[in-house]
């Protein structure tokens, strides 16, 4: 589970639409990989359990790429949506926390496939500072503000204990970070211009558990 906790009243595109855009991209990429040249809004809708109209309305938020009766050119849709999402070029990311989750992230091959690149890793543990972390070397978290400012990075991943999360998130926001993926089980309070996506694995497991219980109750 992940969700945006910001309540930015200025934002023009509803959250559910923002959540669906990368899904359209996945489907278009899959079709492109299989040599399918065009895709209808109906086909995109069916893949995600939506109506044709919803798909067209979602995509219109970012410019209308389809043609009536033809649908969307798959290649064009992929190119446009990559640009819209912001993965048409490499995106540098800093990682704070080299515990079990942070370590897994530095080993994860998915990042580069999606144009994200971890350019710096920080921890406060002297035992970890100086150790290799993917293509980086773990830096002292006390250098975080100046390093982030120096690198000019706007995206960060926070994989630290809950009690350290808010203070580090504040430092990141002050240093110019405008997007944060947060693994700490903490409700971060940040300025409106900072987007936050929370990944709370226990919350996800609890939501799964609840769904299992509800489904089980329906069966009876």
Those residues with Cβ within 8 angstroms of residue 22's Cβ, 6 or more apart along the chain or in another chain: 81, 85
* Residue choice 53, 108, 132, 146 for contact with a second copy (CB under 8 A): 108
Per-residue contact flags (x/-) with a second copy for residues 9 to 28, judged by CB under 8 A: -xxxx----xx-xxx-xx--
Closest distance to a second copy from the beta carbon of 141 (Å): 19
**Should residue 189 be labelled a site residue for a second copy when binding is judged by CB under 8 A?**
no
At residue 175, φ and ψ (nearest 5 deg) are -85, 0
Shorter beta-carbon distance to a second copy: residue 93 or 168: 93
Shorter beta-carbon distance to a second copy: residue 142 or 209: 209
Stretch near a second copy under the rule CB under 8 A, chosen from 38-46, 66-74, 80-88, 137-145: 80-88
**Should residue 164 be labelled a site residue for a second copy when binding is judged by CB under 8 A?**
no
**Should residue 211 be labelled a site residue for a second copy when binding is judged by CB under 8 A?**
yes
CA dihedral sign, ordered 99, 105, 106, 107 = positive
Closest distance to a second copy from the beta carbon of 125 (Å): 15
Cα 137 from Cα 121, distance rounded (Å): 7
* Residue choice 33, 51, 70, 86 for contact with a second copy (CB under 8 A): 86
The half-sphere exposure of 213 on its side-chain side, counting CA atoms within 13 A, is 6
Question: What ranges in 34-87 are assigned the alpha helix state H?
Answer: 41-48, 52-60, 74-85
Cα 196 from Cα 166, distance rounded (Å): 12
**Should residue 45 be labelled a site residue for a second copy when binding is judged by CB under 8 A?**
no
CA dihedral sign, ordered 168, 148, 14, 198 = negative
SS3 195: strand
Footprint of a second copy on this chain (CB under 8 A)?
Answer: 1-4, 6-8, 10-13, 18-19, 21-23, 25-26, 47, 49, 84-87, 91, 93, 99-101, 103-105, 107-108, 110-111, 113-114, 116, 154-155, 178-181, 185, 187, 193, 195-197, 199, 201-216, 218-219
């Amino acid at each position: 589970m992940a969700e945006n906790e910001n309540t930015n009243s200025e934002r023009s595109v509803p959250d559910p639409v923002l959540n669906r855009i990368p899904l359209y991209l996945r489907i278009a990429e899959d079709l492109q990989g299989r040599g399918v040249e065009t895709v209808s809004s109906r086909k995109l809708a069916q893949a995600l359990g939506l109506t044709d109209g919803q798909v067209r309305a979602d995509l219109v938020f970012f410019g209308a790429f389809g043609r009536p009766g033809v649908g969307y050119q798959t290649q064009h849709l992929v190119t446009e949506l990559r640009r819209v999402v912001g993965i048409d070029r490499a995106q540098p990311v800093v990682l704070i926390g080299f515990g079990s989750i942070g370590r897994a992230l530095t080993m994860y091959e998915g990042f580069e496939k999606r144009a994200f690149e971890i350019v710096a890793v920080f921890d406060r543990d002297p035992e970890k500072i100086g150790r290799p972390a993917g293509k980086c070397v773990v830096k002292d978290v006390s250098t975080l503000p100046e390093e982030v400012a120096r690198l000019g990075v706007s995206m960060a991943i926070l994989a630290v204990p809950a009690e350290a999360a808010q203070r580090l998130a504040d430092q990141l926001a002050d240093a110019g970070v405008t997007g944060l993926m947060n693994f700490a089980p903490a409700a971060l309070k940040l300025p409106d211009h900072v987007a936050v996506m929370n990944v709370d694995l226990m919350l996800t497991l609890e939501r799964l558990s609840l769904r299992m219980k509800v489904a089980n109750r329906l069966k009876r």
